[in-house]
Structure 1
Amino acid sequence: MPTRTIPRRVLVLTAAALAVLPTAALTAPAQAASAPPAATAATAVTTGRAAAAPVRFVDLPDSALPTDRSPQRITFQYRNDTPGDQTVAPQVLLESPDRGPYLSAADFRLEQLGTDGRWHTVPLASQTGTLYTALPPAKIVLHSGHTLTEGYRLTALHGPARGTVEPRIAIYP
C-alpha cells in the first residue's frame, strides 16, 4: 500500500489556522437569537477577529422555574458602574435540582423580547443538568453608567418543573 507524505508547510499552515479559531467554535455550537437583545443605551458590536472568552460572569437574582404551563416573564437588568465601557453578553441558565431529575430542553420554551417588540425563540443547550443559552456572537458594548435590560418569557411545556432560573452577564476583556 503506498504511503502519502504531507508537506511540512501544509502542516504548519493548518496548525496556525486552528490556533486562530475561537475556543467557542471548537466546543458547543453557538447560535444567535433571531433578534439582538433589547438594550438601554447599549450598542451591539461584532468584530472580525477571533472571539475572546469571557473574563468573568456577574450572577443576577435567580427565581424558581414556572410551576404551571403559563409563560413566566423574566426581566433582568445590569448596570455598568465602571468608569469605562464594558463588552457584555446576557445568558440564561436553567439549573436542575442537586439530586435531579435533570432538566430537558424539550420541556421548556424560552423566548426573548426583540427590539422589534416580538418574542423570538431562543434555543437551549444542555450540560450536566443545566440548560443554558449560548453566548451571542454579537456582544454589547455597554457604556459607563448605562443599563442593559433583558426581557425573556419561559414556559414549562410539560407541567411544573423543579429548579431555578439563573440569569447572568458575561464580561469580556
Structure 2
Amino acid sequence: MPIRTSPRRALVLTVAALVALPAAALTAPAQAAPPAPAAQPAPVRFLDLPDTALPTDRTPHVITFRYRNDMPTDQTIAPQILVESPRRGPFLSPSDVRLEQQGSDGRWRTLWLGSQTGTLYTGLIPAKIVLHSGHTLTEHYRITVLHAPARGTVEPRIAIYG
C-alpha cells in the first residue's frame, strides 16, 4: 500500500522552515549558560580547634593544627580557618591579612579569604578530603598581617560531613 502524504501538511512545514530560517540566520548565536553547580551537602557539624590571637607584627607566623579521626569509619572533612574581628570593630577585610597553606610539596600557596560580618574565612569545598579511620590530618598555615592596626583571633576548625 503506498504511503500517501498530505501536500498541504508538507507545504505548511516547508513554509514554516523557510520563515524561521532568515530569523535564525540574523540572530547572534546564543552562548550556552554555564552549568549550574551541583548541590553540595552541608557539613553536619563543626569541631572548633584551639584558637590564637592574630599576630600583629607584620611577620609571617605558622599555625599548625591536627585532627585525628577516632571514628571506626572514614570521614569526609574540610579544614577551615576563621579570622574573627573584634566584636566592636574595626572589622578586618581580606586585604588586611595574607593566609597561606603549605602543600604536600612544601610550597606555600595563598588562600582566598571570604568575608562576612567581620569574619574572614577559607572555603570548604576545595578543602574537602576523606580522612581514614585512625588517621591524623596535620595542616600548616602561615598568616601575615599586612595592615596595622589589626586585631582579631585565628580560629581553626574542622567541618565534618555526614
TM-score using structure 1 length: 0.70
Post-superposition offset of 1:138? 5.4
Note if contact 2:77-2:160 (Cα within 8 Å) is conserved in structure 1: yes
Name structure 2 gaps, 5 residues minimum: 1-34
Aligned residues: 128
From 133, 139, 150, the counterpart of 2:139: 150
1:111-142 Cα distance to aligned partner (Å, 9 max, x none): 00001110000010000000000113352111
AA at the equivalent of 1:166: E
Segments ≥4 residues shifted beyond 2 Å: none
Matched, 1:87 2:99: no
Partner of residue 91, structure 2: 102
Q: What RMSD, in angstroms, separates the aligned Cα atoms of the two structures?
A: 1.6
Partner of 1:71: 60
Secondary structure of 1:106's match?
A: helix
Structure of larger gyration radius: 2
* In structure 2, C-alpha distance between the alignment counterparts of 1:99 and 1:138, rounded to whole Å: 31
* Among 45, 55, 75, the residue aligned to 2:44: 55
Work out whether residues 56 and 170 of structure 1, in 8 Å CA contact, stay in contact via their aligned partners in 2: yes
Tell me how far apart the structure 1 counterparts of residues 65 and 127 of structure 2 sit (CA, whole Å).
19
CA-CA distance at 1:83 after TM superposition: 1.2
Identity of aligned residues (%): 72
The separation in 2 between residues aligned to 1:119 and 1:155, in whole angstroms, is 13
Once the 2 structures are TM-superposed, how far is the Cα of residue 65 of structure 1 from its aligned partner? Answer: 0.3
